């Protein structure tokens, strides 16, 4: 059993198969940890919001089983803080005191499940499996996004402006007029962009830029 409080030394995370459990009920933590470890998951447990939030600063990846009613800081507040800090981790709420409004608030904020406590074992297993699949998609999306942003970092400021214009749907002549350039110069910039950003055809490049590059 590895029940963690906020003063303890914690292993650094990063493995997407880690499940983080935050619950002040030690018996519940023990039960959940035993079940999930038997399924091959790595598990870290925390008795308080503060302990988990401190751990999160070192980097978290996987999924989070979160009790709604915790001392001092509620589960919904933890969810809000994670979103504010841009931690992309699927959250499964567990509660013995939940109500409809609480569940609605949690789901609107991005929770993947809201389960009663105690819940059926298979229900929990299915929820965790779904959350971990979601976590894998998040990680893959992050890898694609980061790789793309590294690629466009090689562009000159003018190439970046033209890529923004192309992704906004502007035609060559419109871009030339906007920047007081000749159409042939814009075409040269476009060719250089495609040479520097190796992602496939122009259509894929513009799709990636609309998704990841405009706000980079």
Q: What are phi and psi of 143, to 5 degrees?
A: -65, -45
| Structural contact between residues 68 and 102, judged by C-beta atoms closer than 8 angstroms | yes
List every span in the chain annotated with CATH 3.40.50.2300: 3-139
The residue to which tokens 């914690």 are assigned? 10
For residue 155, the model assigns a pLDDT of 93
3-139 belongs to which homologous superfamily? Response regulator (3.40.50.2300)
For the domain spanning 153-213, the CATH number is 1.10.10.10
Q: What is the mean pLDDT of the chain?
A: 85
Query: In the numeric block, which tokens belong to residue 174?
Result: 């419109």
Helix (H) or strand (E) holding 8: none
List every span in the chain annotated with CATH 1.10.10.10: 153-213
Per-residue pLDDT reduced to its tens digit, 26-55:
898 999 999 999 999 999 999 999 999 999
Whole-model pTM? 0.72
Q: What is the mean pLDDT of residues 143-154?
A: 88
């Amino acid at each position: 059993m590895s029940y963690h409080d906020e003063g303890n030394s914690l292993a650094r995370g990063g493995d997407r198969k880690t499940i983080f459990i935050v619950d002040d009920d030690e018996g519940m933590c023990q039960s959940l940890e035993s079940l999930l470890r038997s399924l091959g998951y790595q598990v870290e447990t925390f008795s308080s919001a503060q302990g988990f939030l401190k751990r999160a600063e070192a980097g978290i990846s996987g999924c989070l089983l979160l009790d709604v009613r915790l001392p001092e800081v509620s589960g919904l507040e933890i969810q809000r803080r994670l979103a504010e800090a841009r931690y992309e981790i699927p959250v499964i709420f567990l509660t013995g005191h939940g109500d409809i409004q609480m569940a609605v608030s949690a789901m609107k904020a991005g929770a993947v499940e809201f389960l009663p406590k105690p819940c059926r074992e298979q229900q929990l297993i299915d929820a965790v499996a779904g959350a971990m699949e979601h976590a894998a998609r998040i990680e893959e999306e992050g890898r694609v996004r980061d790789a793309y942003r590294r690629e466009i970092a090689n562009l000159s400021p003018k190439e970046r402006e033209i890529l923004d214009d192309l992704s906004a749907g502007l035609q060559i002549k419109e871009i030339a007029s906007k920047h007081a350039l000749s159409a042939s110069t814009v075409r040269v910039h476009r060719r250089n962009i495609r040479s520097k950003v190796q992602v496939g055809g122009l259509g894929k490049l513009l799709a990636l830029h609309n998704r990841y590059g405009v706000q980079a």
